[in-house]
Amino acid sequence: LHHVRGSSQVASMASMASSLAGTPILARPRANKASAGRRALRCNASAVSDKAAADLELGYPFVKIVGQEELKLALTLNVVDSKIGGCLIMGDRGTGKSVAVRALQDLLPEIPVVANDAFNSHPTDPELMGPDALALFRSGKTLEATTMRVPMVEVPLGTTEDRICGTIDIEKALAEGIKAYDAGLLARANRGLLYIDEVNLLDDSLVDVILDSAAGGWNTVEREGISITHPAKFIMIGSGNPEEGELRPQLLDRFGMACNITTIFDKAQRVQLVKNRMAFEEDPEGFAKGCADETNALRAKISAAQKILPSVTMDRDLALKISSVCALVDVDGLRGDIVVTRSAKALVAYEGRTEVTAADIQRVIGPCLSHRLRKDAMDTMDGSFKVMLGFNKIFNGSALKSFADVMEEGIADPAVKAADEAKAAKPVEKKAGAWGGL
């Protein structure tokens, strides 16, 4: 009898699933009030716990990150101009890659959004609206607006394509008989940041999906009878350890900027970093309050840069030289030209100016082009040296001009090198009774 009852339940569920595969069942009766109340209670409890966890979790302040100036500049410029295309951060383990990215969220301003909208839709801009808000906007209805901090969404390694793109809302389908879209991570990251830690370990097919949405700014879902297109405009940031694997050159090109992070060996910086970290762990709230003025000043500087950015200009001769450098170092496509131009303008706006100079281009051209020089998966990713030689050739007339600045990090101090050679050439004193060998 138990087996028969179980079979009838399976048949009933199969019938329900087959009916949902067709047109939406609008006449299906809603669940009773008691079950609806239980669902609402579960949802509210989850929301309260999530909010409490968010309140308790304080990120490490961005302004207290010691060293890693290139990384901090690249992240800041992407906030100033989100169209740069994001940033790829590769480096040794324990160098603060994830800490810097998560700390970036505190610098982001608040944005206007439609209340209770899964796509973070803009109340007045149709290009930044999800399908539901766009339909109401076109019908002439006024959308209820509110504000929220720019969202930051993390993509876990164990995620699936359904979780990233979104899929059918099973609970709503079974309870109400309606085909509804359950928004994925791309929808939640719209108008915000999408962070992929250990991006080099994520499945290539998932990386392709994310990069396609990042490049086009839209996500299209076609599955289980659902057809929906929604905006997915976000700043994409990836990080990883190159010892654990590299990204394909085709994927590297989709990131706007790239930074290679190394371990800090300066003793003073290491000591300061350890002190800051221990102080933060002892009293996160007090540590954050102690640098609140610096954080607010940096946030205000970024907001001012975003307002200045449209008025920044670049001389045509500089634009031609940028393209000449890209051609000289054999960069495929035109993304390199575009990203260098946008990054240089963002840097000028960040520093409160309106005119791009050759010095501004020199500061950003390395992170913008270095990762685009890999033609083979076995090549090393760091091509900043070749990029700077190309810059000197085009902008200064000679690749060897300012060569000392180009090689500053790659050449050892001559005095130290001479001392090491003299020490190595000095004969080793033999101990008493030691056998001289042959």
Name the residues annotated as catalytic.
335
Q: Give Cα 416 to chain centroid, integer Å.
A: 40
Q: Write the Ramachandran bin of 270: left for phi over 0, alpha for psi from -120 to 50, otherwise beta.
A: alpha
346 exposure class (CB count in 10 Å sphere: 0-12, 13-18, 19+): buried
Give CA separation, 1 vs 7, 11, 14, 65, 192, in Å.
Answer: 10, 15, 20, 67, 56
Q: How far apart are CA 253 and CA 368, in angstroms?
A: 10
Q: What single letter denotes the amino acid at residue 195?
A: Y
- φ, ψ of residue 299 in degrees (nearest 5): -65, -40
Find where tokens 């090109």 sit. 253
Q: How far apart are CA 176 and CA 165, in angstroms?
A: 23
DSSP β-ladder status, 257-261 and 87-91: parallel
Q: Which two tokens stand for residue 352?
A: 């409160």
Q: How far apart are CA 409 and CA 391, in angstroms?
A: 17
